[in-house]
A = this chain, B = another copy of it.
Amino acid sequence: MSFDTISFLSDFGVSDESVGVTKSVIWSIAPTVRIVDITHGIDAHDVRAGGLALARAANYLLPGVVLGVIDPGTGSDRKPVCIEVGAGQSYLVGPDNGLFAPAVGMVGGATNAWVLDNPDFHIEGIGSTFAGRDVFAPVAAHLTRGVPPERLGTPIDPALLLPGVLPVAQLNDDGRIEAEVLWIDRFGNVQLNVDPDDVAGWPAVRIEADKLERAALPVHTYAAVTTGSIGILADASGLLSLAVDRGSAADELRLMEGDQLKLSRTEVPGRQVAVKLGATKENPER
């Protein structure tokens, strides 16, 4: 089985030659494969952020090979692995450090895995410190050309792969949801690990964090957040996010990735709705 596509995520950044060199290695082995850059802008060594980005992307990626290189332990004894999902629909290649765990979980779990201990499919790079270039890239390239994963190394029970640490929101006895900030996007929207269904029908959501207590108003789109208020909506990943009107909710609320907060049902604070004497089709949030 061969593949057309390698989807590539890393923390290499784009200010030096690392991404270009890695792609050159891939194309030297698999000249016609398409490489889709998922992103190379994950913060250096931030395995958690990379794993979440892969999970957000997972439903949209093309079938084929996913090359994921966020590898603080490069060259150490952390295992280089190839993980099969969908019984062969896709293969994920990279370090066994939890990077792939959220995405693998989202697509139904691993069906097989191998430790990449066959050097026949690596390149003789300079130094022993850049497994992305010397191990993972050539292995990904060979996979797209139809090399069976069994030849790449020794099988390993997928249950032995390092799990990812994906925080799960909890419902407390007092009815409050204990949540965590998963991600601050480029626009400053604050993604929480909370299913929008969990707050369905709430007139407003009280947000409590360290030194913070605010009410957020449910909306359907970022554009519907009114000036001065905090909006809460189902975002493009299907999770709850906090937003402000054309600004950064993260800055406004002083929230960072990993911060803990509590959500509870509340009434709309100080909201006065003028009595209307006829039917209206207006969107009440606007």
Contacts and interface: CB of A to CB of B under 8 A. Distances in A.
Contact of A129 (B40, B186, B234): B234
Contacts of A75: 220-224
Given A38-B17, A39-B15, A76-B221, A127 B238 contact: yes
Given A16-B185, A127-B234, A224 B76 contact: yes
A4 B45 CA distance: 34
A15 B61 contact: no
B39 A14 contact: yes
A236 interface: yes
Interface string A221-243: 11110000000011111100000
Contacts of A15: 39, 41-42, 186
Candidate in A15, A61, A233 with the most chain B CB atoms within 10 angstroms: A15
Interface stretch (A52-60, A140-148, A210-218, A267-275): A52-60
B38 A14 contact: no
Contact of A127 (B16, B25, B129, B237): B237
20 contacts: A4-B31, A11-B186, A12-B186, A14-B39, A14-B41, A15-B42, A16-B53, A16-B185, A18-B186, A21-B56, A24-B60, A25-B60, A27-B36, A28-B60, A59-B126, A72-B222, A75-B223, A128-B234, A129-B234, A130-B236
Interface of A: 4-5, 7, 9, 11-21, 23-25, 27-28, 31, 34, 36-42, 44-45, 53-54, 56-57, 59-62, 72-76, 78, 125-130, 133, 183, 185-187, 220-224, 233-238, 246
